[in-house]
Amino acid sequence: MQANIATLETVYAQIKELNRQNDLLRHKYGGDAKYARTHKRLMENAALYGDKLKVFNALTGVKTDADQKVLDMEQILDNQNYFEKQMQGIVLKRFRTEQQFPVQPADIQAINRLLVREYLKESGRI
């Protein structure tokens, strides 16, 4: 029984620490959980996206551009294909051109899919 309690306390401490780290990451993106989740997914591929600061800078730029595009024309989210194409240009500009990540077209597509899905989920369209 005591061993189980100790194990549970260890797990609880790990959960608290993970939640703290997630809150800090979300705070870096202005409280925007979709970018915190995307950041975490990109950091899983440390070989390609090892530099956290460059990932943060790229995603912050994407966030600024994408949020402005959605604010200017909210119905853009109704046309998923058009929104994906618009986002792809933003992602390409911020990751390859500005931050100079060695990303391939498949990588840009993967990042784009992550972000588009997050926007559509947030708006209740999927």
* pTM of this structure: 0.84
Residue-wise pLDDT tens digits, 36-82: 999 999 998 877 777 889 999 999 999 999 999 999 988 899 999 99
Query: Does residue 12 lie in a domain region?
Result: no
> Measured between alpha carbons, how far is 102 from 15 in angstroms, rounded to an integer?
34
Q: How far is CA 63 from CA 7, 40, 51, 68, in A?
A: 40, 15, 18, 8
Coil, helix or strand at residue 32? coil
Query: Does residue 57 lie in a domain region?
Result: yes
Residue-wise pLDDT tens digits, 26-42: 999 999 999 999 999 99
The domain tally of the chain equals 1
The answer to whether 94 touches 61, Cβ cutoff 8 Å, is yes
Mean pLDDT of 114-118: 95
pLDDT band at 119 (very low <50, low <70, confident <90, very high): very high
Mean pLDDT of 93-111: 91
Residue with tokens 């990588």: 107
Query: Does residue 77 lie in a domain region?
Result: yes
Domain of residue 106 covers: 32-122
